[in-house]
Structure 1
Amino acid sequence: MKVVYFSLTGQTRKFVNKLEMDSLELTPTDPFIPVNEPYIIITPTYDREMTEILNDFIETEHNQSFLKGVAGGGNLNFAQLFVFTAKDLAEEYNVPLIHCFEFQGNEEDVLKIKKVVDDLGYN
């Protein structure tokens, strides 16, 4: 399964690199990349304005039909705003919120994501 992600500070990129899975990093210059395979999105937590490129990507061609879940990274100090970007995307596109992790995650977070992907049957 492909991992599609967006990283402003590098924290999300570091986490995705730990997964050692096929990945695609979105950039603000061209988020309109069609995919024709199942994928999950891993997103940091930022204002909608900053993460709108994720919506642009999901809504490109048939990408929404291949979206299988969303995971989010953030800072637990933000309390109820922790990973709100991932929560909002999961709700908006009616897919599961598969995992939440802090900052660049740890080995347990990596194992949880890999297990979820295996459980989805796409790895």
Structure 2
Amino acid sequence: MKVVYLSLTGKTRQFVKKLGWDFVEISKKNPVCQMEEPYIVITPTYGEQVANFFYEFIEFGENRALLKGVAGSGNRNFNTSFCSNSRELASKYGIPLLHCFENQGTDKDVQILIEKVREIG
């Protein structure tokens, strides 16, 4: 499964690299591209600005049709805001919230996400 992600501090990037899957990193310099295969999104928890990056990406071309799920990273110190961006995307697009993990995740978090992605195909 291809992964689309945003990493402001590098922690989400570290997690994505542990998965061993193809990925696309979006940023201010690279906000959109047309996906050609199914993908999941992994988003950090940084509020509305981060969500807007993903809205722009998902709404570009045919990307919405290929989106299969979302996972989120964050810090549990954020309390109810922990993984709020990923929860918002899952709700807005009617896709599964696959997993939420703290910071760059653990090996167990990697295995959980891999299993969840297998379950959705």
Q: Could you tell me the TM-score, scaled by structure 2's length?
A: 0.96
- After superposition, residues 33-112 of structure 1 pair within 5 angstroms as 33-112=33-112
Per-residue CA shift, 1:59-115, capped at 9, x if unaligned? Answer: 000000110000000000111111000000111111010000000000000001111
CA distance in 2, matches of 1:58, 1:107: 28
Greater mean deviation of Cα atoms: 97-106 or 28-37: 28-37
SS of equivalent residue, structure 2 residue 8 = coil
With normalisation by structure 1, the TM-score equals: 0.94
Any gaps of 5 or more consecutive residues in structure 2? none
Matched with 1:22 is 22
Separation in 1 of the partners of 2:93 and 2:39?
13
Task: Give the percent of matched residue pairs that are identical in Structure 1 and Structure 2.
Answer: 47
Pairwise CA RMSD: 0.9
Between the two proteins, the alignment pairs up a number of residues equal to: 121
Which amino acid counterpart does residue 92 of structure 2 have in structure 1?
Answer: E
The residue aligned with 1:4 is 4
- SS of 2:3's equivalent in the other structure is strand
Contact map agreement 2:12 2:42 (CA 8 A) in 1 = yes
The whole-number CA distance in structure 2 between the counterparts of 1:20 and 1:113 is 12
Output the amino acid matched with 1:14: Q
Q: Structure 1: which 5+ runs fail to align?
A: none
On the 8 A contact 2:50/2:85 being kept in 1, the answer is no
